[in-house]
């Protein structure tokens, strides 16, 4: 039995369906991510877990108890808000101790737990400070300290890093993960930043348009997106429209691209995904697109011309026009290629993924 379980959760606001039929399970000790573009329903789902919103349908169970209708103050979850939501009229100590005071903990215990929490977030001695005296990064740590001071069963994060400077984000990110792991806490983490989700989470659920599209480990989601929406959202992707040509009995399918009319081969594992004469999408990540001067012997080598080279420091993106088919290749360095050069683009079959349109 999993620690936290959502079954067929739905929520609408008027005519807008914010969350539709979402089911997921989080194991004890997991750092679980809810990832998706703005407006996909991930925050609403998190708020329903917290009890700040009531689901219109479905159930939420925690540690074998149905908590669907339990008010938030009885759930015992720690929540870190995107804007930190620190109480401006209380100082740091009073903020962190807020939940403890609500539980009527004795003063000595409160003091110990607050001191401990401050040490865990590496801000010892900050008890008397006022909220408006703190920097953004410090406020964020205090928000975390406040959530963990109550020794919650579950930690809920609502895009906690999105208001920090980029430089601060990565550092805080790894500290956060390290802290959660050390305290052996379970966490559900909402973010729209795919890189952040990949770096932090054990497993991720991708949500688009209120629906849960795919759940899995970061690498599986990246390599094998189940769906166009997921494929588009996670990292950059070349999406090639194509049609299946022959239905040969071999396991390798033959496709003709709609742009550029190139012929590509790739293994088709599930026949029903690629019926004859129906347009599908072939997806290949830019880092798997190789550029060569001469045509390659392994099929799927198409001729093209370099249109643009975008330098980004550690990597460069090279955009190639292959007779009307536009492709992106991610390389560590351009290797002597310049705009206008002719080259060959290799789309190796093992990296081509078949997606429904």
**286 near another protein, judged by CB under 8 A:** no
Strand partners, 254: 265
Site string for another protein, 266-285 (x = CB under 8 A): --------------------
Give the burial class of 241: count Cβ atoms within 10 A of its Cβ; 0-12 exposed, 13-18 middle, 19 or more buried.
Answer: middle
Of 154 and 354, which has the nearer Cβ to another protein? 154
Site string for another protein, 153-172 (x = CB under 8 A): ---x--x--xx---------
Of 52 and 310, which has the nearer Cβ to another protein? 52
**103 near another protein, judged by CB under 8 A:** yes
**99 near another protein, judged by CB under 8 A:** yes
Determine the size of the site formed for another protein (CB under 8 A): 35
CB of 124 vs another protein, minimal distance in Å: 22
Strand partners, 9: 22
Phi (first) and psi of residue 170, to 5 degrees: -65, -40
Candidates 36, 78, 160, 286: give the one binding another protein (CB under 8 A). 78
Q: Output the CA–CA distances (angstroms, integers) from residue 345 to 1, 297, 312, 327, in the order listed.
A: 49, 12, 21, 8
C-alpha dihedral sign at 64, 68, 70, 76? positive
Angle subtended at Cα 83 by Cα 104 and Cα 124, rounded to the nearest 5 degrees: 55
Q: In the structure encoding, which two tokens stand for residue 191, read together?
A: 């973010």
Q: How far apart are CA 170 and CA 182, in angstroms?
A: 18
**88 near another protein, judged by CB under 8 A:** yes
CB of 134 vs another protein, minimal distance in Å: 10
Strand partners, 93: none
Of 154 and 200, which has the nearer Cβ to another protein? 154
Of 192 and 203, which has the nearer Cβ to another protein? 192
Interface segment toward another protein; rule CB under 8 A; list 20-28, 68-76, 108-116, 117-125: 68-76
Strand partners, 60: 6
Interface segment toward another protein; rule CB under 8 A; list 15-23, 45-53, 216-224, 238-246: 45-53
Interface segment toward another protein; rule CB under 8 A; list 65-73, 271-279, 326-334, 337-345: 65-73
The H helix count followed by the E strand count for the chain is 8, 20
Q: In the structure encoding, which two tokens stand for residue 354, read together?
A: 């078949």
Helix (H, G, I), strand (E, B) or coil at 172: helix
| Residues in touch with another protein (CB under 8 A) | 13, 50-52, 71-79, 81-89, 98-99, 102-103, 131-132, 146-147, 150, 156, 159, 162-163
């Amino acid at each position: 039995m999993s620690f936290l379980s959502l079954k067929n959760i739905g929520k609408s606001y008027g005519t807008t369906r914010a969350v539709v039929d979402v089911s997921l399970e989080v194991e004890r000790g997991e750092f679980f991510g809810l990832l998706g573009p703005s407006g996909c329903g991930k925050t609403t789902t998190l708020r329903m877990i917290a009890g700040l919103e009531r689901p219109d349908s479905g159930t939420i169970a925690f540690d074998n108890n149905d908590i669907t209708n339990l008010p938030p103050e009885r759930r015992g979850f720690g929540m870190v808000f995107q804007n930190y939501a620190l109480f401006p009229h209380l100082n740091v100590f009073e903020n962190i101790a807020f939940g403890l005071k609500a539980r009527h903990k004795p003063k000595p215990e409160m003091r110990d737990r607050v001191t401990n929490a401050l040490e865990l977030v590496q801000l010892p001695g900050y008890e008397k400070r006022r909220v408006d005296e703190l920097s953004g990064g410090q406020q964020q740590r205090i928000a975390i300290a406040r959530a963990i001071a109550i020794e919650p069963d579950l930690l809920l994060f609502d895009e906690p890093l999105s208001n920090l400077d980029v430089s601060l984000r990565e550092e805080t990110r790894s500290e956060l993960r390290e802290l959660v792991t050390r305290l052996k806490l379970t966490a559900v983490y909402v973010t729209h930043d795919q890189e952040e989700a990949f770096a932090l989470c054990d497993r991720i659920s991708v949500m688009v348009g209120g629906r849960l599209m795919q759940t899995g480990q970061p690498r599986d989601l990246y390599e094998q997106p189940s769906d166009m929406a997921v494929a588009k959202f996670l990292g950059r992707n070349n999406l090639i429209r194509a049609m299946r040509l022959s239905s040969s009995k071999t396991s390798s399918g033959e496709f003709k691209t709609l742009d550029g009319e190139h012929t590509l081969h790739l293994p088709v594992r599930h026949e029903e995904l690629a019926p004859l004469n129906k347009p599908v999408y072939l997806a290949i990540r830019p880092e798997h697109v190789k550029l060569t001067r001469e045509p390659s012997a392994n099929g799927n080598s198409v001729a093209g011309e370099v249109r643009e080279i975008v330098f980004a420091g550690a990597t460069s993106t090279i955009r190639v026009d292959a007779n009307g088919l536009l492709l992106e290749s991610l390389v560590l360095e351009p290797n002597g290629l310049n705009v206008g050069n002719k080259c060959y683009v290799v789309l190796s079959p093992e990296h081509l993924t078949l997606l429904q349109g």
